[in-house]
Amino acid sequence: MLLFLDRPAWGQMGGGDLVGTWEVRLSDGVHTVAFEHGTTTGKRVVLVDSQEVVKKEWMFKLVGSETFEIGSAKCVIKIEPMGGFAYEYSLEVNGQTYKKFREKQSRILRTWVFPINSVMQRVVLERDTLDVWLNGSKLDVAAEFVDGGTETHFDVCGQPAYICARSSGSRREGIIHALVVNGEQVPEAIE
């Protein structure tokens, strides 16, 4: 029996030793973490975006943890016994449980995904640092104060763009951010 903690997506069981997958939303993109655990051999493999970042064969201790990084994010997959041959798998990102990390990211990241010349673009605003990312690269931006808020200007594939920040008028809702590309507002993406 396998039990996953704070795991959003089920791995395809039966095709190998895949026991868990997680989606980790960072400023530079959404990364998929997959974990393979051979409960008879002790094999452990961590894949990030289908690339092996950890591989250990023939481990005699079936429980423990595997540490790895995704960019600057520090990650740990914990393997804990549940009795008999049942194991519990959980992911921590930057010292937080996967669930807490996802909640924090949903509060601080604003994301827009839209096409320019039939190519999808992904713009991310980190609300805590005010950094702006385009397709995984941090941008140099120019911020200016305007009536009622601020505008952060940058370029997306040769198109002028800016993120405007305005007060919602409600303390609970806080600041509202909107992306405007080539004079048209882009709807915020749900990731």
Amino acid at 135: N
Give yes or no for residue 8 having a pLDDT over 50. Answer: no
Least Cα distance to 136 among 122, 126, 150 occurs for 122
Note whether 77 and 137 are same-domain residues: no
Q: Are 126 and 27 in contact (CB under 8 A)?
A: yes
Q: Per-residue pLDDT tens for 10-32?
A: 333 334 689 999 999 999 999 99
Q: Using DSSP bridges, classify how beta strands 96-97 and 109-116 pair: parallel, antiparallel or unpaired.
A: unpaired
Q: How far is CA 143 from CA 140, 154, 162, 183, in A?
A: 10, 9, 9, 17
Note whether 55 and 123 are same-domain residues: no
Q: Are 182 and 160 in contact (CB under 8 A)?
A: yes
What's this model's pTM, rounded to 2 decimal places? 0.79
Contacts of residue 45, defined as CB under 8 A and 6 or more positions apart, other chains included, come to: 17, 35, 36, 52, 54, 55, 56
Q: Per-residue pLDDT tens for 29-81?
A: 999 999 999 878 888 999 999 999 999 988 777 889 999 999 999 999 999 98
Residue 51 belongs to some domain of the structure: yes
State the CATH number of the domain containing residue 76: 2.40.128.180
Last residue of a domain, one of 41, 69, 94: 94
